[in-house]
Copies of this chain bind each other. A is one copy, B any other.
Amino acid sequence: MINSFHPPKRILMGPGPSDVNPRVTAAMGAPTIGHLDPAFVGLMDEIKELLQYAFQTSNQLTIPVSAPGSAGMESCFVNLLEPGDKVVVCQNGVFGGRMKENVERCGATAIMVEDEWGKPIDPNKVEEALKANPDAKMLATVHAETSTGARSDVKTLTALAHDHDCLSLVDSVTGLGGIELDVDGWGIDAIYSGTQKCLSCPPGISPVSFGERAVEVISNRKTKVQSWFLDMNLVMGYWDGSGGRTYHHTAPVNSMYGLHESLVMLKEEGLENAWARHALNHKAFAAGVEAMGLSFVVEVDYRLPQLNSVTIPEGVEEAKVRAALLNDYNLEIGAGLGALAGKVWRIGLMGESSCKTNVLLCLGALDAVLTDMSAPINSGKAVSAAQAIYSA
Contact = CB atoms under 8 A, between A and B. Distances in A.
A203 B2 contact: no
Interface string A236-248: 0000000000011
A260 B5 contact: yes
Given A3-B264, A228-B74, A250-B69, A30 B37 contact: no
A17 interface: yes
A228 B23 contact: no
A105 B28 CA distance: 34
A29 interface: yes
A391 interface: no
Nearest to A10: B33
B25 A255 contact: no
Given A5-B261, A202-B252, A17 B34 contact: yes
A357 interface: no
Copy tally for this chain in the complex stands at 2
Contacts of A46: 2, 5
A250 B68 contact: yes
A257 interface: yes
Contacts of A14: 34, 36
B69 A67 contact: no
Which one of A19, A27, A40, A68 has the highest number of Cβ atoms from chain B below 10 Å of its Cβ? Answer: A68
A280 interface: no
Which one of A70, A98, A251 has the highest number of Cβ atoms from chain B below 10 Å of its Cβ? Answer: A70
A203 B39 contact: no
Interface stretch (A148-156, A219-227, A302-310, A368-376): A219-227
Given A9-B31, A10-B31, A38-B326, 8 more contacts: A6-B30, A7-B32, A12-B34, A17-B34, A25-B31, A32-B202, A196-B250, A252-B252
Interface of A: 2-10, 12, 14, 16-17, 19-20, 23, 25-40, 43, 46, 49-50, 66-71, 73-74, 98, 101-102, 104-106, 194, 196, 202-205, 224-229, 247-255, 257-258, 260-261, 264, 267, 326, 332, 337
